[in-house]
Amino acid sequence: MKNKLWTYLYGKKSIRVQMLWAFIFSLILATLFSTIYSMQRPQSGFIYKFLPLGIFVLSFWFSFLLMTRRTIRYFKTITDGLKAMSFGNLSYRIPLSSQDELGHVAQNINHMAEQLQSKLERERQLEKSKMELITSVSHDLRTPLTSIIGYLDLLKTHSFQDVQEQERYIDNAYNKTQQLKKLIDDLFEYTRLSDPDVHLSFQEIDFNRLLAQLVTEFEPVAQEQNILIKKALPAAPVIALMDTGKMVRAIDNLLMNALKFSVKPGEITVQLFVQEGRITLSVENVGQPITKEQEDQLFERFYKMEPSRNHAHMPAGFGLGLSIAKHIVELHNGRIWLNHHQGHYAFCAEFKRPQ
């Protein structure tokens, strides 16, 4: 308590108290000097009559400037810092050598500079991301589009030997259009989910039933790739608060990813665990092992594994499938991660159960 009182009386944290003390001491010194002069000099004459007043004013002015020079110097430091920041040097920081109001002003200015610098960095990263997006999209869209144009040109010029070859060109062109559509759908979904104002329609659903339905619908596609899907789901309903459409997209992306990168013939295991107020979905498959660096990048947008891992009959993508799934899970206040050991993959998504 005594320390706080002394700090306040000393004026360490208040410019007003500092100015008050400077005024009082300057007044005392000026009065003292003028009094001493009056006692030592004769009081006759017009000039000598007003000289003590002049000594008082000069002494007061000099003493006040001397006692407030530290505050004035720090004020100039702040203005110099503001000038440097106004010229674009947002990395400049004003030294915090005072605890009074000017110190708080300097601290707030530094905080403002940090926020502006951070915002500028985010804008630069956003601009860089936009350029990367344009480059990646242009490259990935050009490949199927070039193939479609090539097949259509062959059909237009009747450059085929028989009906079977014509049908093959038509089938290939159709498959490429489907691939192109999937690329555009993935891109559209990613941009929608990246919007900070994205709106989700939450409702209570039986997550267990939804998952069983999705697995059933996915089984014919897996059978074509010589993949068996196994499921281990609870017998009782599992009530969850979710956006059904978005969650269907996330689960479909996880299943498609497992299908793409499974060894053929192989198995995909879908499991659902409920414990301690949480729901955990697991999609497991066996594929070629990957490095730790590759694991860390799997959920990054536009990241695609080496072409050798892609199956010839599966449509290529932007590398957005897992990134979209991650966005959707996080929009549901959940988390998603990968457990990988020597080619055994388990993509897990965890959600809170509604109270």
Mean pLDDT value across the chain: 81
Cβ-proximal residues to 6 (8 Å cutoff; 6+ apart), any chain: none
User: Sorting pLDDT into bands at 50, 70 and 90, what band is 46?
Assistant: low
Mean pLDDT is highest, among 38-52, 88-102, 247-261, 293-307, for 247-261
pLDDT of 146 strictly over 70: yes
Please give the domain boundaries of the chain with CATH numbers for all domains: 4-89 (no CATH), 131-194 (1.10.287.130), 203-306+317-352 (3.30.565.10)
What is the rounded CA–CA span in Å between residue 102 and residue 116?
21
Q: Looking at the whole model, is its pTM more than 0.85?
A: no
Give the pLDDT mean for 108-116.
Answer: 87
Question: In which residue are the tokens 């242009």 written?
Answer: 138
User: Sorting pLDDT into bands at 50, 70 and 90, what band is 163?
Assistant: confident
- Give SS3 for 161: coil
Contact yes or no for 81/92 (Cβ under 8 A): yes
Cβ-proximal residues to 39 (8 Å cutoff; 6+ apart), any chain: none
Contact yes or no for 347/286 (Cβ under 8 A): no
pLDDT given at position 13: 67
Q: Name 247's bridge partners.
A: none
pLDDT given at position 19: 78
Q: What is the tens place of the pLDDT at every residue in 286-336?
A: 988 888 888 887 787 666 665 434 444 455 555 678 888 898 999 899 999
Q: What is the tens place of the pLDDT at every residue in 180-232?
A: 887 787 777 777 776 767 778 889 999 999 999 999 988 988 888 899 999 89
pLDDT of 4 strictly over 60: no
Contact yes or no for 243/202 (Cβ under 8 A): yes
Cβ-proximal residues to 75 (8 Å cutoff; 6+ apart), any chain: 102
Tokens of 66: 């001397």
Rg (CA), the chain: 37
